[in-house]
Each structure stands twice: as structure tokens, then as C-alpha cells.
Amino acid sequence: MCLSRFLICGLFLLCFFSNLKSQETDDAIFIKNIYNKVLQDGSAYQWLNHLTTQIGGRLSGSPQAAEAVDYTRAMLDSLGLDSVWLQPCEVPHWVRGEKEEVHILIPAANINLPALALGNSVATPPSGITAEIIEVRSLDEVEKLGAKNIKGKIVFFNRPMDPTQIRTFNAYGGAVDQRVNGPSEAARYGAVATLVRSMTTLHDDHPHTGVMVNKEGINKIPAVAISTNAAEMLHKMLLEKKVTIYMKTNCQTLDPVQSYNVIGEIKGSTYPDEIILVGGHLDSWDVGQGAHDDGAGCVHAMEVIRTLKELNYQPKRTLRCVLFMNEENGLAGGLAYAEAANKKGEMHLAAVESDAGGFTPRGFSCDAENEVFADLYLKLQQWLPLLEPYGLMLTKGGSGADISPLKSQRGLLVGFRPDSQRYFDYHHTATDTFEAVNQRELELGAASITALIYLIDKHGL
């Protein structure tokens, strides 16, 4: 009797592991087919070419942003999806105006500094602003100096991104508070304007724009980013003497504009109420072509849907591609999407966002509500043997700004993580162009995201 039970148990385990091995083999073959399809017959690079070179920078509220909505909707329509639609969202409409001017005033001649106004900045008076400059490294230093030392001056925030951080997004996170909140903090103590060192580890002459927040109840002042080389030069001059700056900006905030998220989906065959989202943000800053940030993410998301459709894969769960509007200076698209989803009672099993450029894939970082994260992350780790041959790892961490409002739905939030070393060379600059994106790296990213989406859909969480 015991021997019979032992044999039955042995046969059961043999069948179980045999089926498991067969399943893993099937998954490995399909993932290889995904990579083959994208690398041999992908559309992402072609889409990106049109989005960047034919449309260009897509600042929220601009004609280019509206054109990008029409173009990507047409491309999704051409894929034969179950449904494609536009989701309304009201977006801010900030415009840069004429080229910024920033000069160091010296007796012999003025020194021009490469500069870009920060998003949401106000303009200077028509005659510009001339004032002495004072350098700080932190928001705390502004508070310590107080109105006595700051009133009537231009505050220069000059804290570099930490070059010792291997993941450059960590370095960015450690420095960007001075760009986002610095102008309002300086205004609190009577500053007339601010200069901010560009957010990059690279020393060059390309200024990096980005959003700043005007806090309620605090006077709005002009805020401008200068290049890292300019910041270094200004710092050295300030060590020797007082420096006076002239600056002129021409920014305006116009009335909000009606815009849209672009959405396409394939309905699930077995669990249609479980949604797996893949997305990027369609808007970009106005000074470049928005290639890495975030044209790459948008075409990644579109390519996921196209590839699975081309491979005749019938998803068990609803696969939804979402191209969000207004991530850069307001997050209107992400907030509108989450609000609509919650009102409908939708459940997002997983949401994957690509918003870190079109560089070589390194893996994915994961986030969720604390009480469900451990189980979801453990499930995901079971697929590492299928992802590691493609150089992909899984880590704990953030996901993406646009999908973060979905966290309360208790699904898994995932951020695509390509190599980050060059990302902030281009981020928010005039050099973020189509030519800066390598076709193979872009396509490897699309294939990697598709592989993860496939595994989540087939096996669930």
C-alpha cells in the first residue's frame, strides 16, 4: 500500500514538473518569437521618426501636441484593435515666447549664458531684470540666509547631480527639488528671479528646462535654467567678487486647452475585466523633438500591441495601450485616466510605463500598495529565468508618473528601466532628437516590454 502511494506520488510529481518544463519551453519560444518579430519587422523606429521629425516638440496645449494625438490615434486605428478612442483631459498651456537672455554684466563686455526658462515660469518685465546674484546649494540654505540677504537679488541654485550614483535617476531625484521648488522658496524671501543649474551630470553648453511649481500665496518670479558649463563659470566668478546678472524672459501662461489621452485596446478572452496597461506620455518639452522623453515610451507601448496582434496572440486579459498627455507640467492625462477608471470600477492587474528613454534595456522596477506588493513581486520573480537571457532584471522601486494614480487599485505598477547613463545628457534639452535614439536599442526595449506583458497576461498575478 505504501509502495503504491509512493509510486502514485512520484508519477504525479513527474507529470507536474514535466508540464512545468513544457510550459517554460513554450514561453521561451514565444518570447524568442517576440524579439524576432520586433527586431526584424518592427514599426517603433518609423513611428518615432514621424513623431519627432515631422511633428517635433509637443508641449501640452500646443498645435504639435494636438497633431501628435491625431497621428498616434491613426496609427493605433491601423492595427485592427478592438477599440481606439480619445479620452479628454484639460491641460495647462504655457508658452516660452521669444528666446531667453541671460548675461553676466562686466565692464568690458557682457558674457552670455546658455539659458532656458523653466516650465510655468513667469516673464520678466519688458525691460528685463538686473540684480546682484547670490549662490546657494539647497532650499535650507535659502531659509537660513533669509530676507535680509536675499531680498532684491537673483538666487542661483547650484547643487550638482551626484556623480557617484550609479543609477542616474537617483542623482536626479537628489537634485531636482531646487528646480521644482527653488523659485518659490527664493521668492518667499524677496528674490526677484532665480537661476538653476541644469539637471545633468554632463558638463556642456546645453541648458535643460523642466517644470517648476508656483506655490499659492507666494509672489511668482522668473526662473531660468543655465547650462552646467555656465554654472561652473558663474560659481568661480562668485568666489572672487560680486556678480550682477541681466535676464529677460518672455513666458506666458494662457488659458487651459482641451486635449486627450490616446487609447487602444484588445479585449481579453478569459478575464476581460482585468486590464494590463502599457503606456508612455505623448507630450514633451518644446525645445527638442521629445525623442527619448517620451516619444520612445509611446512607440514602445504601441509596438507591444502591434507585435502581439501580428503574432496572432489572443490575450486572456484586456491589453490597453495608453498615450498620456501632460506628464511634463501637470500630469493631467494620468489623473484624468485614473479618475475615469475608478469611476467605471475598472481593475488594472498591472500597468507598465516606459518613460526613461530608448536606451539598452536593463529590466523593470516594481511598485504596489504595501499589503499586496510582496505577493505580486514574488510572482514576477518566477519569470526571471525567461527574462535573464535578454539581460533583464527585476528590482523594487518606482514605476511611472502617469500610472502612479492607479496605485490604489492594488495592482502591480512597473517602470521599464533601460540603461540610464546617457538619459540626462538629453533630458529636457534641444538635443533630445530622433538622431539621439539608436534603432536597435529602441526595438530591444519594445521587445522586452512585450515579453513581460505576455507573461503577466498568460499566467496572471
Rounded distance, CA 204 to CA 146, Å?
32
Q: Which of 30, 26, 379 is nearest to 18 (CA)?
A: 26
C-alpha cell at 177: 527639488
Measured from the Cβ of residue 105, the count of other Cβ atoms closer than 10 Å reads: 12
The residue type of 206 is: H
C-alpha cell at 101: 537672455
Assess whether 216 carries a catalytic annotation: no
CB 208 within 8 A of CB 180: no
C-alpha cell at 313: 496572440
Phi, psi of 294 (to 5 degrees): -135, 40
CB 173 within 8 A of CB 365: no
CA dihedral 56, 169, 368, 326 (to 10 degrees): -20
Rounded distance, CA 392 to CA 372, Å?
23
Task: Spell out a b/e string for 418-450, using b for 16 or more CB atoms within 10 Å of the CB, else e.
Answer: bbbebbbbbbbbbbbbbebbeeebbbbbbbbbb
Rounded distance, CA 167 to CA 356, Å?
12
Q: In residues, how long is the chain?
A: 461
CA dihedral 337, 340, 346, 350 (to 10 degrees): 10
Rounded distance, CA 16 to CA 177, Å?
53
> Which of the residues 135, 185, 303, 327 is marked catalytic?
327
DSSP secondary structure letters along 99-120: PPEEEEE-SS--EE--EEEPBT
Instruction: Work out the widest C-alpha separation in the chain, in whole angstroms.
Output: 103
DSSP secondary structure letters along 301-364: HHHHHHHHHHTT---SEEEEEEEES-TTTT-HHHHHHHHHHHHHT-EEEEEEE--S-SS-EEEE
Burial class of residue 197 (count of CB atoms within 10 Å of its CB; 0-12, 13-18, 19+): buried
Q: Which of 244, 220, 247, 232 is nearest to 117 (CA)?
A: 247
- As a whole number of Å, the CA-based R_g of the chain is 25
Q: Tell me if residue 23 falls in helix, strand or coil.
A: helix
- Catalytic machinery residues: 327
